[in-house]
Amino acid sequence: MKKVYGSAAEALGGILHDGMFIAAGGFGLCGIPELLLEAIKEAGTKDLTFASNNAGVDDFGIGILLQTKQVRKMISSYVGENAEFMRQYLSGELELEFNPQGTLAERMRAGGAGIPGFYTKTGVGTVIADGKEHKDFNGETYILERGIFADLSIVKAWKADATGNLVFRKTARNFNPPAATCGKICVAEVEEIVPTGSLDPDSIHLPGIYVHRLIQGEHEKRIEQRTISAA
């Protein structure tokens, strides 16, 4: 089964459709699938729902899709650093479902494991719990959260082999592994594709069975916040 494609547009060929649900890896600007997001923008696919920790910044990450009004709903933990995100939400142009970060990660992981729902104490007694089933266990109240089952997962890794085994680097190993597992199809972009068999099996963070398509590309690697001490 061929997994390596020549470009992000080729890797997404025949997959994208309006109204689809996409799980995207990354945290802030670290480990985000920037090439695949750019390809989605160029494809013009609209009415999208994204499950992602945040929406990047105004001109990078999912932020570029907000600028073109291709996103209908965000399932996120954090909306800071993106003025357009906040503007669209406050004006009612964008639907937003807030999730605590741990809950969002577990919802993705649960979906990838085929688990339709789980109970958690996080959010009990807050607006997060509104409309959700409550259940007591050993005298403690929990709320039911649903697993995320996406149409497409897009992730960014450091290295891969041709079979799709992925290795993430440092902070990029955040939402990427759970996001990769919860989609019907997973497309990954990496900095380097190495010969099959050259990766140490104990160092593989995501087995290739989860990855359907793969591209190698050049990445911008922006710094989200730069703090410089006085000279």
Q: Where are the domains of the chain?
A: 8-216
CA distance from start to end of the chain: 56
The yes or no reply on domain 8-216 and CATH 3.10.620.30 is no
pTM of the model: 0.93
Per-residue model confidence as pLDDT tens digits over 130-153: 999 999 999 999 999 999 999 999
CA 95 from chain center: how many Å?
A: 17
Per-residue model confidence as pLDDT tens digits over 155-203: 999 999 999 999 999 999 999 999 999 999 999 999 999 999 999 999 9
